[in-house]
């Protein structure tokens, strides 16, 4: 990796974060996770109550990175073709008719799947191929999606009536599940000041498409020590009840653990975190800080876990206590979180 490229990337990413924070109040951790997912080329499931700023955050990101953006409002009557596109009949100047594929909104760089759990499973599954393979298949023909391609899906955690839970196969394709919480009193005061005046705030373009692709390549070049890879794999294996690394809480309350995609997401996300924080190496702290958003949607409670209302946070806490920590800074962070 050329040092000048790294310095340029670090400075541009810092400017990107500052520009997003100029529009979005608070949410520092959420903004970090979205930028990391963008650098890693991963998709995000964004969960929060209505009116908390999920759509504004995604729109601001698209403005700041200067790439094509589309919003899809998921409803029970939304059909798969409304997302991917469909073949239409066209007539040329000679009167001959033929089919032509009309691309749907998924053929953009950032796709906001708003309230994704309001659509049926059939419609939700229309995103599966796009999210994993970066292609869309229609009438036997594959159409590639332009990179970068990131799906940011939102869902409301408090309103379950008329919703369709996402299948595990689709949940596993999300790089992070990120939670947006109510702002603090000071943040809410600033939100009111910004949104009730006659001043319209729009983000300026900081990074273009080619730069994003370059930064995604740089992220993959950041080295990771073999002991950190081993630590990551132990954390993921510890989510499985039959693993030698799993703590008692996992054996008792979990039915299924995280897939190998969790290890991939943790390592790639940690590389993105290192670049975001201006470092050319991955630390154990990078991995631990991303453990919850990577794991929370990939594990399934058993009946006893659901009956006892066991939280994912409790499970993650026991896992991190079980697996040896080798970095003093990580030990300090874990100690503060207890």
- 96 vs 162, higher pLDDT: 96
List where CATH 3.40.50.300 sits in the chain.
3-213
* Mean confidence (pLDDT) of the chain: 89
Residue 8: Cβ-neighbour burial (10 angstroms; 0-12, 13-18, 19+): middle
- CA 165 vs CA 92, 168, 204: distances in Å: 44, 9, 36
Phi/psi region, residue 148 (left: phi>0; alpha: psi -120 to 50; beta: rest), is beta
For residue 118, give the DSSP letter.
Answer: G
Q: Which two tokens stand for residue 152?
A: 């940011």
Q: Quick: pLDDT tens for 141-153.
A: 889 999 999 999 9
What's the rounded Cα separation, in Å, for the pair 320 and 328?
14
Q: Give the model's pLDDT for residue 110.
A: 95
pLDDT (0 to 100) of residue 177: 95
Contact in structure between 273 and 312 (CB atoms under 8 Å): no
Centre a 10 Å sphere on the Cβ of residue 122 and count the other Cβ atoms it contains: 11
Q: What is the Cα–Cα distance from 162 to 164, expressed in whole angstroms?
A: 7
Q: Considering the entire predicted model, what is its pTM?
A: 0.90
Instruction: Tell me if 205 sits within 8 A of 63, measured CB to CB.
Output: yes
Which range (55-69, 188-202, 228-242, 300-314) has the least confidence? 188-202
Q: Which residue has the higher pLDDT, 63 or 95?
A: 63
**For 168-242, where are the alpha helices, taking DSSP H only?**
168-171, 185-195, 209-221, 226-237
- List, by residue range, all CATH 1.10.8.80 domains of the chain: 222-337
Using CA atoms, how far residue 233 sits from 178, 225, 229, 240, 263, in Å, is 21, 13, 6, 12, 6
pLDDT value at residue 50:
86
Please write the tens of the pLDDT for every residue from 12-56: 999 999 999 999 998 999 999 999 999 999 999 999 988 888 999
Class of domain 3-213: alpha beta
Fold of the domain spanning 222-337: Helicase, Ruva Protein; domain 3 (1.10.8)
Alpha helices of 79-148 — where are they, by DSSP H? 80-84, 121-124, 126-133
Output the pLDDT for position 332.
61
pLDDT band, very low/low/confident/very high, at 209 (cuts 50, 70, 90): very high
66-94 pLDDT, tens digit each: 899 999 999 999 999 999 998 888 877 77
């Amino acid at each position: 990796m050329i040092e000048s490229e790294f310095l340029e990337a670090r400075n541009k990413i810092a400017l990107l974060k500052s520009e997003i924070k100029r529009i979005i109040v608070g949410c520092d951790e959420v903004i970090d996770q979205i930028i990391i997912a963008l650098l890693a080329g991963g998709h995000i499931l964004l969960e929060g109550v209505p009116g908390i700023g999920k759509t504004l955050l995604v729109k601001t990101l698209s403005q700041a990175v200067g790439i094509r953006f589309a919003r899809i409002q998921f409803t029970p009557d939304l059909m798969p073709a409304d997302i991917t596109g469909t073949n239409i009949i066209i007539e040329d100047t000679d009167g001959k008719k033929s089919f032509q594929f009309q691309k749907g909104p998924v053929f953009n760089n950032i796709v906001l799947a708003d309230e994704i759990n309001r659509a049926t499973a059939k419609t939700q599954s229309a995103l599966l191929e796009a999210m994993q393979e970066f292609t869309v298949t229609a009438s036997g023909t594959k159409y590639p999606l332009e990179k970068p391609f990131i799906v940011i899906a939102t869902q409301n955690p408090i309103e379950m009536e008329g919703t369709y839970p996402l299948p595990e196969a689709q949940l596993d394709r999300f790089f992070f599940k990120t939670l947006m919480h109510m702002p603090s009193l000071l943040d809410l005061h600033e939100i009111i000041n910004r949104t009730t005046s006659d001043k319209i705030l729009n983000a300026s373009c900081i990074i273009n498409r080619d730069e994003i692709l370059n930064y995604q390549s740089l992220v993959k070049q950041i080295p990771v020590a073999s002991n950190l890879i081993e630590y990551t794999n132990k954390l993921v294996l510890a989510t499985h009840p039959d693993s030698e690394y799993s703590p008692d809480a996992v054996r008792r309350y979990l039915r299924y653990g995280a897939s190998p995609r969790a290890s991939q997401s943790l390592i790639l996300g940690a590389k993105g975190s290192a670049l975001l924080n201006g470092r050319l190496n991955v630390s154990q702290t990078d991995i631990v800080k991303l453990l919850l958003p990577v794991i929370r949607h990939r594990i399934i409670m058993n009946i006893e876990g659901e009956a006892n209302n066991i939280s994912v946070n409790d499970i993650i806490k026991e896992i991190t206590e079980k697996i040896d920590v080798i970095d003093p800074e990580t030990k300090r962070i874990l100690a503060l979180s207890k």
